[in-house]
Structure 1
Amino acid sequence: MATHVLIIGGGIAGLNAAKSLGDAAGITVTIVDRQNHHLFQPLLYQVAMAGLSPADIAAPIRSILSGFSNIHVLQGEARSIKLDCACVEFDFGVLHYDYLVIACGATHSYFGHAEWEEFAPGLKTVAQATEIRRRVLAAFEQAERIEEPDEQKKYLTFVIVGGGPTGVELAGAIGEMSRYTLARDFRRINPRLTRVILVEAGPRILPMFSEEQAGRAARDLEKLGVQIWTSSIVTNVDANGVEMGDERIQTATALWAAGTEASEIGRSNGMPVDGRGRVIVEPDLSIADHSNVFVAGDQACFTHQTDRPLQGTAPVALQQGRFIGKTIVQELSGKPRTQFQFFDKGQMATIGRSRAIVEIGRFKFAGWFAWVTWLIVHIYYLTGFKNRFFVVLQWAWSYMTFRRGARLIVEKEWRMNQLESEEMLVDTTDDMPR
């Protein structure tokens, strides 16, 4: 009987684990994800800022894995993991496994204030990206039709909470879009006067980069009109503003990029976790007392290489996914397990057009060359030739024209006749026998 490997999560870690097991003799693979598509999250901010469309950075999981006859793809959500009986309960039923790979990713952390999410959405999914795009673009439209100066100023003020790479990229993109793209399209307002405020609780932005590189990024942001508020801890977020102690910024659009926490599935099923909910793993990425269960990506707390948890980045997830797949294949062929070793290829962040910072070991550079490096690396890691081709075309067009091709405000409500439908529902309800 074939060995069954069950993978929960079709992100970078789960997808690469599946690919490493593709067409392996004597192995069948089932990969389950809540969505039907794989999303390249490092470029998600470009969807939120109308630079790319969702289809440019996402592809159906079935399509990606269709070339492997031993891989089955299912859409569903994991409810609970029963380690003792080697099975997982999903919303569609129960699946048993010989090996289990948990790669459910992470969500945003509001540090005990989940109610803030309504007013300051995070950026982890396509739905969140399109909602951020809707809020940002709608704010300019709202300001265009308002005459009262203070109210208009509120809609032309954007607050991004969190000075990590995502927050920096969002702030830079809004600053760039308001000054170069939207400035030509509005008549009653001047988008160049838009206030973009980046709020960071720590002493400086981009703490994972060197102080020199973070300073360069801060200067590039300021050239785009972004104000940086460091050592500012957010104490409240509501529909009309963001508070930092006694300070309050009136804004209609706040965005959250301040922290993450791992999926609840690890903590809720009794696995050992750290303070951010990440499952504590062994040197081979398995969990204690269950060597056939692996955890990878944002959900794993791996400290065996640097005494500190590896960052939740795409390279970490990719290498861990591939390692787990190869480990399973080698073990089934009688070879001993080895310890996971992460090869750090460096880190990078983009601030806007022709502006980026790159660190590869001791080698650091910034500016236009760093920006081109950022483009090449992200295009390389995109899934599929079609996505790479269209992203290159879109970026080239945007670079030459300063235009953004995905500036669509998509409302949540899909019914054309909502009022009539609700009235019919009421009338029908009234006629029902009691």
Structure 2
Amino acid sequence: MPDKVRIVIVGAGFGGMAAAKALRRSPAQVTLVDRTNHHLFQPLLYQVATAALSPADIATANRVLLRGNPNIHVQMAEVLGVDVAAREVLLDDERRLSYDYLVLATGAAYSFFGNEAWRPYSLVLKSLDDALTIRARLLAAFERAEQSGDPAEVRRLLTFAIVGGGPTGVELAGTIAELARTTLARDFTCIDPRKTRVVLCEAGPRLLAAFDPSLSAYAAEALATLGVEVRTGKAVQAIDATGLMLGDERINTGTVLWCAGTEARPVARWLAAAAAPNGAVKVAADCSVPGHPEIFAIGDVASFDHGGGRPLPGLAPVAKQQGAFVGRLLAARIARRREPEAFRYRDYGTMAVIGRSRAVAVLGGLRLKGFLAWLAWSLVHLMLLVDFRSRLLVYVNWSWAWFTYGRGARLLTGRMQREGKPNGDLKS
């Protein structure tokens, strides 16, 4: 065994980065592996997708965030599996990383609930690449509509269907509606962007099911004032190259955004471990995998029961708190100090922004809506950004958008023009 304890952290999201930072003063040799070279602030990813922010505003290189910590090594590689018996992580370049302790923070991907045939015709939002693809599709739709002389095709191009009425779906719907009705309203001569149709589809009885019903009702009303068509109680039956079937209604569209559900990355399969219905690994009170005290799963890839059979939600604060907890636990274990007790999640609130000056928030026992909720949302998200540079850039962009209704990230490059083809052209 080497002189230093080897800790491998897979994933540089909120959980993985929090674990790495908690271990920066530990004598262990820590290796952080991620398939990208950056840490992404996912709660603002929808703003990149809707041209409000640029990628660099919400992402910072992993090496920059962990600079000055000689015990932490950063590697960009994709993990393909884990050899539990050999205690090795398998990488896509055929290398293997040995570990004494393993922290899995691989996150989640969108699930189509077994309808994989819908995937080629839908856009998801989990990465910067996803956000840039959506941004290209949105902006290109208006450009193509401007050039089209077919009224039916113009209507199809300027119809955007969003599947899933959770926070991401609500945020995208409100922001796309505002983009069309304010920012782009006077930029075209042959089309009227204010006639853009945004349809938000939710199979359940109401939007934002995790919030109080009164806040869900407010969100629906706020979206309606922006011109968003909210459809609840109807499930998507089919998605194809030219639109979707919502119940027995056909919606012709060139853009379908899928925000309906997630599934954990295949960690449970790697470990042959017990999993929740969404594929998340069931973990013990200290976030370790039962039967493998040297392996920990945190964030979206973990199913942590905090009482009553209710797993913790897949939120950034959960991942950050679990990552920090596991990092402290390992640091104490290596130093032979008393280890922290079982993980306890501190719920500081849940928020969702609807549009300019409108949001809903639950902060402890306090329920907010409207401008106060939006102000709280803005302040919290600014403070949660990982560095001062990101906070400054986002603040400047938000201030500019507030006073001018402008958006500074509306460029279409050659690559983005290709990715901006509507659904019917995806395979061309």
Q: Which bracket does the TM-score occupy, shorter chain normalised?
A: over 0.9
Task: Check the 8 A contact 1:331/1:337 in 2, yes or no.
Answer: no
Q: Separation in 2 of the partners of 1:361 and 1:305?
A: 18
Alignment of 1:99-114 (within 5 A): 99-114=101-116
Deviations 1:152-187 (A, max 9, x none): 111111100000000000000011111111001111
Alignment of 1:314-329 (within 5 A): 314-329=316-331
CA distance in 1, matches of 2:32, 2:166: 31
| Alpha-carbon distance, 1:414 to partner | 10
Q: Distance in 1 between matches of 2:234 and 2:136?
A: 27
1:154 corresponding residue in structure 2: 156
Aligned to 1:62: 63
* Aligned mates of 1:147, 1:336 — CA distance in 2: 69
Write the distance in 1 (CA, Å) between the matches of 2:136 and 2:104: 33
**Residue-pair matches, total:** 414
1:395 is matched with: 398
| Percent of residue pairs identical | 47
Pick aligned residue for 2:407 from 390, 397, 404: 404
CA-to-partner distance for each residue in 1:228-248, whole Å, 9 max, x for gaps? 000111111112001123211
How far 1:374 moved relative to its partner? 0.5
Matched, 1:83 2:84: yes
1:366 and 1:409 map into 2 onto residues whose CA distance is: 35
| Unmatched segments (≥5 aa) in structure 2 | 419-428
Contact 2:106 2:301 in 1 (8 A): yes
Matched, 1:350 2:362: no
Give distance in 1, aligned partners of 2:308 and 2:378: 29
Distance 1:274 1:250 in 2: 36
Q: 1:377 aligns with which of 380, 385, 391?
A: 380
Instruction: Give 3-state SS (helix, strand or coil) of 1:184's partner.
Output: coil
2:72 corresponds to which residue? 71
Deviations 1:307-353 (A, max 9, x none): 21111111001100000000111222242452100000010000010
Match of 1:194 in 2: 196
| Contact residue 267 and residue 279 of structure 1 kept, 8 A | no
Match of 2:33 in 1: 32
Number of the residue aligned with 1:363: 366
Change (3 A) 1:270 1:410: farther
The CA deviation string for residues 363-395 of structure 1, in whole angstroms up to 9 with x for no partner, is 101111111111111111111111111110010
Conserved 8 A contact 1:134-1:411:
no
Aligned to 1:6: 8
The match for 2:124 is 122
Aligned to 2:421: none
**Unpaired stretches in structure 1, ≥5 consecutive residues:** 416-434
Paired residues of 2:82 and 2:270 also in contact (CA < 8 A)? no
Tell me which residue corresponds to 1:339: 342
Quick one: distance in 1 between partners of 2:222 and 2:339? 50
1:260: which partner in 2? 262
CA distance in 1 between partners of 2:170 and 2:306 (Å): 30
Which secondary structure does the structure 2 equivalent of 1:235 belong to?
A: strand
What's the RMSD between the two structures over aligned residues? Answer: 1.4
The whole-number CA distance in structure 2 between the counterparts of 1:165 and 1:240 is 26
Three-state SS of the structure 2 residue aligned to 1:206 is coil
Instruction: Report the Cα distance in structure 2 between the residues aligned to 1:136 and 1:4, rounded to whole angstroms.
Output: 45
Mapped to 1, the partners of 2:361 and 2:312 lie a distance apart of: 18
Determine helix, strand or coil for the equivalent of 2:236: coil
Structure 2 equivalent of residue 45 of structure 1: 46
Conservation of the 8 A alpha-carbon contact between 2:31 and 2:72: yes
The CA distance in 2 between the partners of 1:414 and 1:85, in whole Å, is 47
